[in-house]
Amino acid sequence: MAKKKFFWFSAGSCMPFDLDPQELAMAAYLQITLNISAANRAAAAGIYQKYKAPFLNTIAGAKTKELLVREEDVQVLHGFDSAENARAYLQSELFTADVVAGLEPLLDASPDVRIYQVV
């Protein structure tokens, strides 16, 4: 498939770049739903921001990571190239020692963790 031309707009400038649509294709999603009170959400967002780049740069198969917020809860949606890599991330030191350790004191209940495969 041919690369498509996209444009990045920032601070009054426009920069073109090429993107292969296959580079963005997800094979699996890891969805983690967190019950976090309004008082703790800023701290939780800080943890998300702190570990987003290490996740994308060091975890095998990681493609995207998005923070979804609604009144009832917060979700972190991770895109992967395979369900196996999504499962492996849950066992990684980044997740267990950094992300979980940072979020644990902020949680009102155990998180709901689900892996979905794209069909």
User: For position 106, what pLDDT does the model report?
Assistant: 97
Q: Along the chain (119 residues), what's the average pLDDT of each consecutive run of 10 residues? A: 53 56 78 96 96 97 94 95 97 97 97 95
Euclidean distance between the first and final Cα of the chain, in Å?
A: 20
Judged on CB neighbours under 10 Å (0-12, 13-18, 19+), 36 is buried
Strand, helix or coil for residue 39: helix
Structure tokens at 42: 């800023």
User: For position 6, what pLDDT does the model report?
Assistant: 54
DSSP states along 75-110: EEEEEES-HHHHHHHHHSHIIIIIIHHHHGGGBSS-
Residue among 119, 112, 117 nearest 79 (CA) = 117
User: For position 15, what pLDDT does the model report?
Assistant: 55
User: Could you give the CA distance from residue 94 to residue 74 in angstroms, rounded to a whole number?
Assistant: 20
Biggest CA-to-CA distance, the chain: 47
**Domain 24-117 falls in which CATH fold?**
Alpha-Beta Plaits (3.30.70)
Name the residue with tokens 């976090």: 36
User: For position 26, what pLDDT does the model report?
Assistant: 86
Name the residue with tokens 């426009």: 14
